[in-house]
């Protein structure tokens, strides 16, 4: 992609945004603020978003997930049955009306429609277990949207729902999701900061679990056991002041961002909505459910909050919009053009700063702001020395020079 034709430009001065994530994403041209808590994804932002979605999808498929996509418009009926239609019960509903005055909701989660859907698609124990998930737009009427992409009124969520024949089968899958979530956060580059955090389990389980990324910008407070590398949330610390794994008592209070959660639902939704299957003995039983969420947009914001520096964003390899940022400075134009074409021929798309009226200083500052992992600079100097200058955004751009003839091989090995 040539930067001269890329839609959206960087801004010289940081915009007024709530949260460093939104400030950098807007300044670097990844997102656009439509109104408080509502953002659009511009081409660079959509690339990152899609890479995060791709990682989550791979990990969900690896544990047997099947992808589908439910609607946003919600029939009130099943929500009335579970008692969650009322604004008193769920205080972030957006509702609207059909022409005939029927009230409909905008999905803020999907337990009810998923359970309802399964009434049409399971009958026997042979149909279970089922693990179904989606990347679907949720609408939440937050009183105060804040912190950029961390708390918005409209966002895509990966929500997975599991339906198991019994508690044992449920528990086994629940543990698999824990592993998959650890894989996801580690591939997103925030694995070291993200802790499994014990939360209240509701009526069907002792605990549910959050994945909390330790970060000053977070809204949540967690209590970390350094020994076990896990944490408990506020609800739990009030009931028990010790680590649920090693029983150690002096836990460390930290600010954190909830980047995922997994929740045992038991048979609550199945019971209320009349979802059953016939077991091996011919008896009608309710499947045991779980739900499992990750917001790719919030994950994107968390990556920035944790990994930026004073010059801009620092994308981890697996989520960067491009693997390589090629900067063409004066005297390096023909080298840049040739290298760009060679990489395209190898099927490697890069961001190529080919702008002819932009100074070297601006190009370097933009590259720091945009945060692509591997940078190549070509200039009169490198042209004369028959080299390219290579540096890594995460290593403060310490420069290394590679012979021009070895460039392609080096780049193929290092992206």
- 360, 329 Cβ separation under 8 angstroms: yes
137 near its own copies (CB under 8 A): yes
Write each residue from 68 to 97 as x if it is in contact with its own copies (CB under 8 A), else as -, in one continuous string: xxxxxxxx------------------xxxx
374 in Cβ contact with 400 (< 8 Å): no
Encode 156-221 in three state secondary structure.
Answer: EEEEEEEEECCHHHHHHHHHHHHHHHHHHHHHCCCCCCEEEEEEECCCCCCEEEEEEEECCCCCEE
Query: Which of 53, 130, 360, 415 is close enough to bind its own copies by CB under 8 A?
Result: 130
Query: Least distance (Å) from its own copies to the CB of residue 159?
Result: 13
Minimum distance, C-beta of residue 369 to its own copies, in the bound complex (Å)? 16
Q: Verify binding: residue 113, its own copies, rule CB under 8 A.
A: yes
Q: Name every residue whose Cβ is closer than 8 Å to that of residue 193 and which is 6 or more positions away in sequence.
A: 213, 214, 215, 306
Q: Are strands 194-200 and 230-233 parallel, antiparallel or unpaired?
A: parallel
| Residue 386, Ramachandran bin (φ over 0: left; ψ between -120 and 50: alpha; else beta) | left
**Residue 395 · residue 374 · CB < 8 Å:** no
Nearest to 300 by CA among 321, 319, 317, 318: 319
Task: Mark the segment that binds its own copies (CB under 8 A) among 98-106, 180-188, 202-210, 323-331.
Answer: 98-106
**Residue among 13, 16, 98, 281 that touches its own copies (CB under 8 A):** 98
* Residue 130 CB neighbour total at 10 angstroms: 17
The minimum distance between CB 150 and its own copies, in angstroms, equals 16
Given the complex with its own copies, which of 71 and 330 has the nearer CB atom?
A: 71
CA quadruple 28, 29, 34, 38: dihedral sign: negative
Q: How far is the CB of 374 from its own copies (least distance, A)?
A: 23
CA distances from 60 to 82, 111, 376, 403 (A): 28, 18, 35, 42
| Closest distance to its own copies from the beta carbon of 130 (Å) | 6
The single residue among 106, 230, 314, 367 that binds its own copies, judged by CB under 8 A, is 106
**Residue 359, C-beta contacts closer than 8 angstroms, at least 6 positions apart:** none
Q: Is 39 one of the binding residues for its own copies (CB under 8 A)?
A: yes
299 to 338: interface string for its own copies, x by CB under 8 A:
----------------------------------------
From residue 189 to residue 228, the character string flagging contacts with its own copies as x (rule: CB under 8 A) and all else as - is ----------------------------------------
Nearest-approach distance from CB 379 to its own copies, in angstroms: 23
DSSP letter assigned to residue 9:
-
Q: Establish if 141 lies at the interface with its own copies (CB under 8 A).
A: yes
40 touches its own copies (CB under 8 A): yes
Per the rule left: phi > 0, alpha: psi between -120 and 50, beta: everything else, 189 is: left
Q: Which is nearer to its own copies, 199 or 300 (CB)?
A: 300
> What are the φ/ψ torsions at residue 99 (nearest 5 degrees)?
-55, -30
- Distance, CA of 185 to CA of 134 (rounded, Å): 18
- Give the shortest CB-217-to-its own copies separation in angstroms: 23
Q: Which of 9, 12, 403, 409 binds its own copies (CB under 8 A)?
A: 9
Query: Distance (Å, rounded) from C-alpha 213 to C-alpha 196?
Result: 9
Shortest distance, position 252 Cβ to its own copies, whole Å: 35
Q: Is 6 in the site for its own copies (CB under 8 A)?
A: yes
Residues 144-173 that bind its own copies (CB under 8 A): 153-154
In this chain, which stretch among 66-74, 189-197, 221-229, 310-318 interacts with its own copies, using CB under 8 A?
Answer: 66-74
Binding site for its own copies (CB under 8 A): 4-9, 29, 32, 34-35, 38-43, 45-46, 49, 64, 66-75, 94-99, 104, 106, 113, 117, 120-121, 126-127, 130, 132, 137, 139, 141-143, 153-154, 357
């Amino acid at each position: 992609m040539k930067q001269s034709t890329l839609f959206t430009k960087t801004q010289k001065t940081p915009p007024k945004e709530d949260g460093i994530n939104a400030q950098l994403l807007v300044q670097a041209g990844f997102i656009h603020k439509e109104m408080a808590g509502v953002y659009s994804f511009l081409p660079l932002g959509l690339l990152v978003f899609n890479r995060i979605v791709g990682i989550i999808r791979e990990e969900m498929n690896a544990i047997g997930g099947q992808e589908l996509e439910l609607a946003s418009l919600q029939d009130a009926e099943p929500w009335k049955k579970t008692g969650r239609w009322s604004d008193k019960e769920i205080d972030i509903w957006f509702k609207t009306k059909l022409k005939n005055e029927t009230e409909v909701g905008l999905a803020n989660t999907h337990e009810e429609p998923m359970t309802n859907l399964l009434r049409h698609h399971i009958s026997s124990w042979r149909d279970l277990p089922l693990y179904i998930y989606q990347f679907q737009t949720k609408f939440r009427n937050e009183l105060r949207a804040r912190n950029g992409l961390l708390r918005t009124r409209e966002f895509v969520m990966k929500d997975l729902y599991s339906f198991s024949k019994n508690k044992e089968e449920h528990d086994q899958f629940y543990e698999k999701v824990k592993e998959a979530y650890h894989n996801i956060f580690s591939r997103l580059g925030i694995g070291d900061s993200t802790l499994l955090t014990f939360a209240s389990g509701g009526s069907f389980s002792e605990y549910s679990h959050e994945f909390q990324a330790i970060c000053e910008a977070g809204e949540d407070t967690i209590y970390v056991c350094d020994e076990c590398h896990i944490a408990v949330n506020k609800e739990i610390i009030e009931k028990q002041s010790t680590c649920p794994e090693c029983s150690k008592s002096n836990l460390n209070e930290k600010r954190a961002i909830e980047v995922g959660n997994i929740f045992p639902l038991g048979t609550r939704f199945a019971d209320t909505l009349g979802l059953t299957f016939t077991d091996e003995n011919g008896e009608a039983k309710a499947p045991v459910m779980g739900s499992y969420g990750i917001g790719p947009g919030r994950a994107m914001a968390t990556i920035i909050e944790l990994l930026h520096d004073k010059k801009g964003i620092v994308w981890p390899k697996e989520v960067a919009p491009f693997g390589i940022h090629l900067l063409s400075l004066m005297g390096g134009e023909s080298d840049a053009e040739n290298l760009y074409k060679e990489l395209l021929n190898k099927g490697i798309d890069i961001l190529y700063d080919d702008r002819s009226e932009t100074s070297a200083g601006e190009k370097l500052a933009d590259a720091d702001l945009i945060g692509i992992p591997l940078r190549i600079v070509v200039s009169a100097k490198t042209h004369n020395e028959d080299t390219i200058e290579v540096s890594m955004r995460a290593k403060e751009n310490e420069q290394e020079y590679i012979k021009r003839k070895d460039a392609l091989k080096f780049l193929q090995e290092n992206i």
